[in-house]
Amino acid sequence: MQSLGMIENWPVSTAAAAVVRADGAVVGTHGPTDHRFALASVTKLLAAYAALVAYEEGAVELDEPAGPEGSTVRHLLAHTSGLAFDEHRVMSAPGTRRLYSNAGFEVLGDHIAKATDIPFGEYLRQAVLEPLGMTATALEGEGSPAKDGVSTVDDLVRFAAEVQAPRLLDARTVAAAMTVTYPGLKGVLPGYGHQNPNDWGLGFEIRDSKAPHWTGSSSSPRTFGHFGQAGTFLWIDPDAGAACVALTDRPFGPWAVEVWPPFTDAVLGEL
């Protein structure tokens, strides 16, 4: 895909990208797809998938208490627990605001670790990474489930293919994860300001009508995924029947706001 070559013009030292269809076919790659990058918040997609495996295994229930009083596993996954962005401090009642929260995902990781008696990084490896052959991906040591993952484009293509055609989870569970949870809540999308509504599923951000946004103007409202402050993103557009992964070694900033949407539009134009 010629559009993937656009990453050569990004103001970064190293970048890699790939596109994978719903049938698992990789239709294009560019750059060092085996290079390990810090994922930042793209880590949350992997952590959420592990949480959903824990749910299907019966280790946790989505509506069991977790986090602040009145909060549940579902609230933590959907950024509606009321916890602050990067502090274990309650800012609102559960289910009333979309407060994007790294702290919430850290509480989620601790909750699953206690429920399974397995450190969360190891549970993630056993539940998701190893079955998908993601050998270059890890959440090292006591790393945060919100932001401390490392991976490659090659590995994330495997994950994106799994989400589009689930083997580790029931397809109905994945469909629920990409469906708006607690609809109509306002909130701030980091890097893009206040959104009304700021729709989210179970760990997956949902594009809907958000503007501005890190995906493209031609991305369908059903597009879901995540971007990270490490200059990384993974989106899946069900209407296009494909997913795109792009990883870089430059922190997110105005450069990404400028180049990511036209890149996504060019990719979708080739599908």
Beta bridge partners of 17: 30, 246
8, two tokens: 């050569």
Output the DSSP codes for 73-140. HHHHHTT-S-B-SSSS-B-S-TTSSB---HHHHHHHHHHHHHHHTS-HHHHHIIIIITTTT-TT-EE-
Its pTM stands at 0.97
Give tens-digit pLDDT for 40-62. Answer: 999 999 999 999 999 999 999 99
The predicted pLDDT at position 247 comes to 98
Q: Measured between alpha carbons, how far is 55 from 120 in angstroms, rounded to an integer?
A: 14
> With bands split at pLDDT 50, 70 and 90, how would you rate the model's confidence at 264?
very high
What would the mean pLDDT of 20-47 be, rounded to a whole number? Answer: 97
CATH number of 2-270: 3.40.710.10
217, two tokens: 């103007």
The predicted pLDDT at position 249 comes to 97
Give tens-digit pLDDT for 184-211. Answer: 999 999 999 999 999 999 999 999 999 9
DSSP H or E segment with residue 172: helix 171-177
Please state the domain extents for the chain.
Answer: 2-270
In this model, does residue 81 exceed pLDDT 90? Answer: yes
| 267-46-125 Cα angle (round to 5) | 130
In this model, does residue 141 exceed pLDDT 90? Answer: no
Q: Are 188 and 92 in contact (CB under 8 A)?
A: no
